[in-house]
Amino acid sequence: MSNITLKIKDIYGSEIRTRRTMEEFAHTLILENSYLLDFTGVEQISRSAVDELCNIISDHGSIHTVNMTPFVQKMFDTVLISRFSPRVRTKSTSEVIRCSTMQELSQCFSELRVLTR
């Protein structure tokens, strides 16, 4: 078993955009090792990437993080809270307009254009 420190910016850059990046990271991990993820210099991270990182941390059991920028930390905190909270949806059902011909579609757009002005 080894204790390994990984500088995330050196591996994935200052902006971590997608869940796929973290999925690829997960494949590099060895279960027996302990990891410290250093986020120094990581300026941006997407919500999806953070969620995947949370999955990795949860599944691996021996991963810790340090040196998160305020933005990254805030994203992390937001995702963690939402994972453990019931999902609240707006349940706003959009009005459905069915157009079976081009004429109906044009008429629909004419009426909708008024709404957008």
Residues contributing to the site for other proteins (CB under 8 A): 12-13, 15, 17-21, 24, 44, 46-49, 51, 54-55, 74-75, 78-79, 82-84, 87, 89-102, 104-106, 108-109, 112-113, 115-116
55 and 47 in contact (C-beta within 8 Å)?
Answer: no
CB of 8 to other proteins, least distance (A): 14
Burial label, 45 (beta-carbon count in 10 A; 0-12, 13-18, 19+): buried
Distance CA 22, CA 18 (A): 7
User: What DSSP state is assigned to residue 43?
Assistant: -
Q: What is the rounded CA–CA span in Å between residue 115 and residue 105?
A: 15
Instruction: Pick the closer one to other proteins by CB: 10 or 104.
Output: 104
Q: How far is the CB of 38 from other proteins (least distance, A)?
A: 20
Instruction: State the minimum distance, in angstroms, from the CB of residue 41 to other proteins.
Output: 15
Which residue, 2 or 101, is less far from other proteins as judged by CB? 101
Q: Which is nearer to other proteins, 5 or 109 (CB)?
A: 109
Shortest distance, CB of residue 113 to other proteins, whole angstroms?
A: 5
Count Cβ atoms below 10 Å from residue 17 Cβ, excluding itself: 13
